[in-house]
Amino acid sequence: MQEFEVVEVASKAFSDQKPGTSGLRKKVQVFQQEHYLENFVQSFLNVVLKDEPRLIVIGGDGRFFNLDAIQTIVEIAVANEVPQLLIARDGILSTPAASHWIRKYQADAGIILSASHNPAGENGDFGIKFNGANGAPAPEALTTAVFETSKSISSYKRAKIEALDLTHDQDILLNHTHVVIRDGIEDYVHHMAALFDFDALRDGFESKQISILFDAMNAVTGPYAKRLFLDALGADETSVINAEAKADFGGGHPDPNLVHAAELVAQMNTADAPVLGAASDGDGDRNLILGKQQFVSPSDSLAVLLEHHKLLPQFSEGILGVARSMPTSTAVDRVAESLGIDCYETPTGWKFFGNLLDDKRIQLCGEESFGTGSDHVREKDGLWAVLAWLTIVNSLNKPVAQIMSEHWQRFGRSYYCRYDFEGIASDSADEMITALTKSVTSLADQTFGNYQVKRADIFEYTDPVDASEAKNQGVRVFFTDGSRVVYRLSGTGTVGATLRVYLEQYQDASGDLQGDAQVVTQELAEVALTIAKVNEFSGRTTPDVIT
């Protein structure tokens, strides 16, 4: 057994360790400051050690600083005598795979190193998030307690151990801590095999009824996708592109949307495109679904999964309820209504689905931000969503475009777009939202072009399971024709503020269902920018990204 010393290191508290929508995200250089990561991890342990955790899962999306951070976390956890650490081989563990590990091995918590889809590399972003014993992102009560602790922490404990070799599976005993290093991919693949009918999918690939082009965007899902689609399902070798998980994500921006997955989009617009195109993000929880010359918006994807849920083996006995985040379009609400099941509307952030899933009120949920998932883990799961779509396409034996068109014929279509204004000065963005919030009561009945405001409000949420409350979760403006605009500031950026403007315009089945969403929502967008005085406050007239 390795001999080592445990030291108490004096440090000074940082004031900026408040987690956002999904953990603490900062520039790599911020995390590289002396004591920065150490303080945050010790603050977390100070909070959770009270419950005497037995096992903590550790892994990340492989981005720059991942391995250094894991070493630091292990040194602090060993010094704090955490009994067992389960660490992913090579540090590679997608966010949904981490959630699965926590649940499968009944861990008490997980530490996931990721800034999701944010760019990586020496000058990129880094992030750390904590998950609870149910595998879900830590609830606000826990992240607030960690933040409060971080504001006054003055020291942390550190074990002076040798650098761990994470390149192969092994068990190491370090004083009171049993360190277990295992492949973070295998269990996840087995879990998927238990949820889906792999024989049917293999037959589908073999007979060429289905085919796929999956873009791993040089991020964490590369090795997972190869084992799933190529090894387990027999898809053609060329089916997975950008499959090497690189520390800088190949210099790209692994956000699976029409802008950043341009290579995939171009290939799916060719005549010989496969049946399904898909991509995932940095840490494997987001997904993009495309058919041949057909984009499926995340909101529509959720609605279609609910419409055809009986084709998915895990839902063969039905679904009791679904949930979507508030800015996500109401497409899924209409399907839920037709099925006579509950549909919950939660604030942005996967953590708000955790209680609903645990309480078995919902089995399926999703967000406009390219997140889809089910009760099989407590995170959104990009590859699960892709397998669900493959299953539906294989069972129906119809092109994605036809599946969408039939869905809209039945339920009507929510034309949907999101405008992102990035890097706005934080003060200006706050002033804009404050002014908008104040105007909420006076907006009703005002007319802007062809749009008349019906009502406006500030979204608030009371969790139906534990009655916890979330206030100020975005400004909503509803119009008399059923359209809706939502405004909120992103909680995941690292530079200035990002304003998100979400646009939804409903068209029933009697009208044109095949329009271009950006064109159809154009006037609504102009109205939205006028109402919020976006130009006045930010100097911006056009968004940086439209998805």
Which of 488, 483, 519, 489 is CA-nearest to residue 503?
483
Cβ atoms within 10 Å, residue 466: 12
Strand order in the sheet with 240-241: 240-241, 212-215, 276-280, 287-291, 294-296
236: which 2 tokens?
């053609």
Footprint of ligand G16 (CB under 6 A): 21-22, 116-117, 281, 285-286, 325, 348-350, 367, 369, 371, 490-492, 500
Class of residue 470 by CB neighbours under 10 A (exposed 0-12, middle 13-18, buried 19+): middle
Nearer to ligand G16, 158 or 540 (CB): 540
Distance CA 353, CA 343 (A): 12
Shortest Cβ distance from residue 336 to ligand G16 (Å)? 20
Class of residue 434 by CB neighbours under 10 A (exposed 0-12, middle 13-18, buried 19+): exposed
Nearer to ligand G16, 286 or 309 (CB): 286
DSSP 82-99: -SEEEEEEEEE--HHHHH
271: which 2 tokens?
């005549």
Shortest Cβ distance from residue 94 to ligand G16 (Å)? 11
Please give the radius of gyration of the chain, using alpha carbons only, rounded to the nearest integer.
23
Shortest Cβ distance from residue 538 to ligand G16 (Å)? 17
Shortest Cβ distance from residue 196 to ligand G16 (Å)? 23
Shortest Cβ distance from residue 492 to ligand G16 (Å)? 3
Amino acid at 428: S
Shortest Cβ distance from residue 285 to ligand G16 (Å)? 5
Nearer to ligand G16, 156 or 350 (CB): 350
Of the candidates 99, 116, 325, 369, the residue annotated as catalytic is 116
Instruction: Tell me if residue 116 is catalytic.
Output: yes
Q: How many residues does the chain have?
A: 547
DSSP 367-414: ETTTEEEETTSSS--HHHHHHHHHHHHHHHT--HHHHHHHHHHHH-EE
Q: Is beta strand 484-489 parallel, antiparallel or unpaired with respect to 177-182?
A: unpaired
Strands (DSSP E) along 160-244, which ranges?
A: 170-174, 177-182, 212-215, 240-241
Amino acid at 351: K
Shortest Cβ distance from residue 95 to ligand G16 (Å)? 7
Residues marked active site are found at 116
